[in-house]
Structure 1
Amino acid sequence: MQLDHATIVTAEPDTVRRFFVGVVGLADGARPPFSIDGHWLYANGRPVIHLIEATAPAQAGRSTPRIDHIAFRLEGAAEWQALLDRLHAAGVDYRLAQVPRMRAQPAELQLFVALAPGVVIEFVTALRHGDHAQLENLE
């Protein structure tokens, strides 16, 4: 498992993007067609910062801007299944989602765990054929 990305929600995504591109040296790059606007910023060919435009005013316990979540990438089916087994054994609830396809990129499966109010951890892996059935069963 490796750290995949951090997501930042802000009312000023262009200002944040300019900082990460112009000062930090990340590159603005391709992003799947999500239903909400944002940017993916790349380091060494990988999208490591996901910027999302805040569409709602800050709520109690959640400020804007904020780091919304961190994500860990799991590479193999065995590693993904082991995570699922540990979540089930611990009685931890989670939500699955599919990342929309983008060009030649393979589809990906996301798993979100809300640890506490305002604390979300994402796990992401390449979507394999058998995972489609798993998504359909949960929706």
Structure 2
Amino acid sequence: MQLDHATIVTADLATARRFFVEIAGLPEGARPPFAVDGYWLYADGRPVVHLVQASAPDPSVRAAPRIDHIAFRLDSAGEWQALLARLRASGVGYQIAQVPPMGPQQAAMQIFVALAPCVVVEFVTALEHAQP
């Protein structure tokens, strides 16, 4: 089994799209003609993030719990540094955290971006890739 995609319902579709395309580096791709506006964003040829326009009058009111965050793994120091450069250039706020090693799992670094209320995006990489 593998994760297919994450869907983010947002009242600010344009800002979410801009973040995932310009900062996270996910290209926009084909999307079926649904009745509600949105975008499909791709990684490795697959639509991994679905952005959907919120249709509720008050997007802060949730009828049911939502996913806390989604995470993307970066596999090289170059990817990590390029992401940091794009975040800094855009002025998007973020927090960095270190995950300590546990058993065979090596230490890692994380970047957390609060894209909107109730929508957090995490980027994670091996600690060695995050060293300047």
TM-score by length of 2: 0.50
